Structure 1
């Protein structure tokens, strides 16, 4: 029997994850059955179950993949001698995440923002998913925290703010921006970048009255 190449295995796994993401974004986690995923992926049950035991494992894999990409990007930035400013970095990382999934659409709209909202709505009733998200966001927060420390040590950011507070704020801004896309439709990441840039440019000094 001929050996199946790793490239083939990776492509098949990608095919299944993308199909599941579309199903979850379209109908929600609970209204989606494994049969729906099989149909979307155009694969047999045996082909899919070779990779994933069920919906819980599928959605955990999707979440872990995205958070892993984000964490890696921020860790790489933190290791640079002069990392990009927060507004540029957030736009760059989010832009890559969205671009990698731009082919996945539901009713002509990007599926990823809708999927994010579905995942968050599932947290109160799914302890395993909550644990995956908690660990994923912990590592992203830690990566952002290291990045903030590098800004502070270089004198590029005020040093009297706890790094984790900045990390949590940046994560909140990104999640809020994604949620807005789910509600109001696609928007370029430049919108988030420009908004952050404007907030970062504020001064505590009052403008001259004259």
Structure 2
């Protein structure tokens, strides 16, 4: 029997995860059956169950994959000296995350933002998924904290602010932007980048005088 290549195995796993993501984004986790996933992925039950035992494992794999890719991108940025400014960094990482899933479309809209909302809702009842999300969130926070420390060492950011506070704020901006896309429709990442650039270039002396001298 011919040995199946790793490339083939990876492609099949990707096919299953993408099919499941579309189903979950379209109908939610509870209204989606494994039969729906099989149909969307166009695979037999045997082919799918070779990789995943059921819906719960599929959900966990999707969440872990997304958070892992985001963490790796921020960890890579943290190794730069100094890191790119926050507006550029967030736009770059979020843009890459969305672009990697741009082929997943539900009702004419990108599926990924809707999937994120579904995940948040599911964590309220699924402790295993909540644990995966907490661990992933913690690793992203840690990576962002290292980036902030890099800004502070380079004199790009005031040193009297706790790095984790900045990390939590930047993550909140990204999650809020994704939630807006789910609720109100797609928007380019340049919208978030422009907003962050405007906020991070404010000067204390300008706010004290009503902002009349911004420039």
TM-score, normalisation: structure 2? 0.96
> How far apart in 2 are the matches of 1:155 and 1:82?
9
What is the aligned partner in structure 1 of residue 170 from structure 2? 170
Deviation at 1:80, TM superposition (A): 1.0
> How far apart in 2 are the matches of 1:81 and 1:138?
23
> How far apart in 1 are the matches of 2:131 and 2:123?
9
> How far apart in 1 are the matches of 2:194 and 2:80?
23
> How far apart in 1 are the matches of 2:164 and 2:83?
18
What is the aligned partner in structure 1 of residue 209 from structure 2? 207
What is the aligned partner in structure 2 of residue 38 from structure 1? 38
Aligned-residue CA RMSD in angstroms? 1.2
> How far apart in 2 are the matches of 1:33 and 1:131?
23
> How far apart in 1 are the matches of 2:159 and 2:81?
18
- Mapped pair 1:132 → 2:129: no
Deviation at 1:83, TM superposition (A): 1.4
Deviation at 1:81, TM superposition (A): 1.8
> How far apart in 1 are the matches of 2:47 and 2:146?
41
What is the aligned partner in structure 2 of residue 148 from structure 1? 148
Deviates more, 1:115-124 or 1:75-84: 75-84
> How far apart in 1 are the matches of 2:101 and 2:186?
13
What is the aligned partner in structure 1 of residue 60 from structure 2? 60
> How far apart in 2 are the matches of 1:82 and 1:139?
20
Deviation at 1:82, TM superposition (A): 2.3
> How far apart in 2 are the matches of 1:82 and 1:173?
22
Spell out structure 1 runs of 4+ moving beyond 4 A.
none
Deviation at 1:202, TM superposition (A): 1.1
Query: What are the superposed Cα offsets for residues 153-204 of structure 1, whole Å, 9 maximum, x if unpaired?
Result: 1100011110000000011100000000001110000000000010001111
Equivalent positions of 1:1-210 (< 5 A) are 1-205=1-205, 206-207=208-209
